[in-house]
């Protein structure tokens, strides 16, 4: 057990070091918690908290709270979900050290389907968002393709160390359709069937330039 944890830590340090040299922009940090609680064989409750910083911690960029109720169209797969999100942002005013605060309320619908090819676990997520900001309504489509591949095990099971990657593109329904693209790579540790932890680097490709964040994530699917 100790050897596996040590191996995971070394792999994570090597990954972060390699990405740190590859990126020129300042590195922010996102702390993410994602819960997915099974209600019964079909229904589930999604709950999520993201605490995003301009630096490692303490310089808040954004706080995101997201929740929703989902339903599996087939056993353990093909999940449709209706959700709500609250987002508090504190962006810097251009050319100053001052911030402005904004709040967004968001309704969203999503569909998630999963596939497995050998050791490769694939997930497709389609999401449509209605974003309410300052008496204005904006709508956006999102598509995410994510991969998880166990390294020291043949399958994702207890004590598995795994490589993780995703690419997510955002498209607005209004003018300036391209919103952003997120590309992520990281390493995770499958503690047991209900808890896993993950860390990695995400590059966010924006029309105004690129941003890079280090992400620390906890995933919890303990049933009620």
Domains of the chain: 2-220 (2.40.160)
CA angle (216 as vertex; 179, 101 as ends), nearest 5: 50
Whole-structure pTM value: 0.86
Strands 178-190 and 160-172: antiparallel
Give the three-state DSSP class for 1: coil
Dist CA 63 CA 83 (whole Å) = 17
Q: For residues 82 and 130, what is the distance between their CA atoms, to the nearest angstrom?
A: 12
**What distance separates the 2 farthest-apart alpha carbons in the chain?**
55
Per-residue pLDDT of the chain (224 residues; tens, 9 = 90+): 555 555 555 555 554 444 444 333 468 999 999 999 999 999 999 999 999 999 888 899 999 999 999 999 999 999 999 999 999 999 998 888 899 999 999 999 999 999 999 999 999 999 999 999 988 999 999 999 999 999 999 999 999 999 999 999 999 998 889 999 999 999 999 999 999 999 999 999 999 889 899 999 999 999 87
């Amino acid at each position: 057990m100790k050897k596996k944890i040590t191996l995971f830590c070394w792999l994570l340090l090597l990954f972060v070091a390699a990405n740190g040299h590859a990126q020129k922009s300042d590195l922010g940090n996102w702390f993410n918690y994602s819960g997915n609680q099974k209600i019964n064989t079909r229904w589930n409750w999604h709950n999520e908290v993201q605490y995003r910083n301009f630096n490692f911690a303490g310089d808040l960029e954004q706080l995101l709270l997201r929740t929703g109720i989902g339903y599996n169209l087939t056993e353990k797969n093909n999940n449709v979900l209706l959700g709500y999100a609250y987002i508090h942002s504190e962006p810097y005013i251009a050319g100053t050290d001052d911030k402005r605060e904004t709040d967004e309320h968001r309704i969203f619908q999503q569909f998630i389907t999963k596939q497995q090819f050998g050791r490769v676990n694939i997930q497709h997520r389609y999401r449509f968002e209605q974003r309410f900001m300052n008496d204005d309504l904006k709508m956006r489509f999102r598509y995410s393709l994510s991969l998880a591949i166990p390294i020291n095990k043949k399958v994702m099971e207890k004590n598995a160390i795994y490589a993780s990657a995703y690419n997510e593109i955002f498209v607005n329904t209004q003018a300036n359709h391209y919103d952003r693209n997120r590309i992520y790579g990281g390493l995770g540790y499958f503690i047991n069937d209900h808890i896993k932890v993950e860390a990695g680097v995400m590059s966010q490709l924006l029309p105004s330039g690129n941003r890079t964040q280090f992400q620390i994530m906890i995933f919890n699917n303990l049933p009620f």
